[in-house]
Amino acid sequence: MNSISVRALLVRGMLAGLVAGAFALVVAYFLGESRVDAAIALEESHAHDHGGGEELVSRTMQSTGGLATGVLVFGVAVGGIAALVFCYALGRMGRFGPRATAALIAGAALLTVYIVPFLKYPANPPAVGDPDTIGRRTALFFLMVALSVLLAVGAVILGRRLAPRLGNWNATVAGAAGYVLVTGIAYAFLPSFDEVGKDFPATLLWEFRLATLAVQITLWTVFGLVFGHLTERLLVPRPARGAAAGGRANRPAGVAG
């Protein structure tokens, strides 16, 4: 793939990430912000009891401009990274076209970058967690992300090496099983944190966590669909895209499709 194509795909990946970020922003605002407000209200009630600090950034700014900036910048960044991964993966994942490759990359990113680390270190709303451990918890979460991505790459390499001997299906199953096994070992050995107070509503906690999960699912689903469409238009010649439809339209009446 030449440099012009890589640059064009990178631009399209960032554009798709921006669109996906806009959809994720809507989900985050309508599903997540009310839960954040409820958690902040609980936090402030305890802060008044124990003497809380002054707010540096207004809640209004956090829930509008701050949220929009964070989600949109994140969408553009991961869109660009996913586009570079797409450049390498296209043609190396079997007979998948641009749309299918984009969908597979988006699904793999959702699984490895968010869902697997989320299951070990789920997101917590304000008022949950010890402030003294936030640095350690953040570091461990990103360590889990790195491990998940590296293990996924290793599973793909293992599957490709086993394919000539076991066949594609068995090799894929073996690679996936290896990924699950080593991830489970990482889950067992990495430290866990149980810092949810007994007075924090369990329903609010899970609604917040499900909202964060919905944001990521929306982001990667929209990215996969938009980026797949853009790459199809870029990489597949127009006559090839319309060949199936044109051939179907030119068939005599009564010929089965």
- Decide if 249 is inside a domain: no
Range of the domain at 229: 1-45+62-128+197-241
- Decide if 165 is inside a domain: yes
Region of 121 (left: φ > 0; alpha: ψ -120 to 50; beta: rest) is beta
18 φ, ψ to 5°? -65, -45
Cβ neighbours, 10 Å, residue 199: 8
Please tell me whether residues 21 and 77 are part of one structural domain.
Answer: yes
Please tell me whether residues 183 and 202 are part of one structural domain.
Answer: no
Domain total of the chain: 2
Please tell me whether residues 13 and 72 are part of one structural domain.
Answer: yes
| Coil/strand/helix, residue 245 | helix
> 202-235 and 3-27 helices cross at what angle (nearest 10)?
150
- Decide if 257 is inside a domain: no
- Decide if 90 is inside a domain: yes
Please tell me whether residues 25 and 107 are part of one structural domain.
Answer: yes
Q: Please give the chain's pLDDT, 257 residues, in tens.
A: 556 688 889 999 999 999 999 999 999 989 888 788 777 777 667 665 544 455 566 666 766 777 888 999 999 999 999 999 998 888 777 677 888 999 999 999 999 999 999 999 888 877 676 777 788 888 999 999 999 999 999 998 898 888 888 888 898 899 999 999 999 999 999 988 877 767 777 888 888 889 999 999 999 999 999 999 999 888 877 665 555 445 544 544 443 33
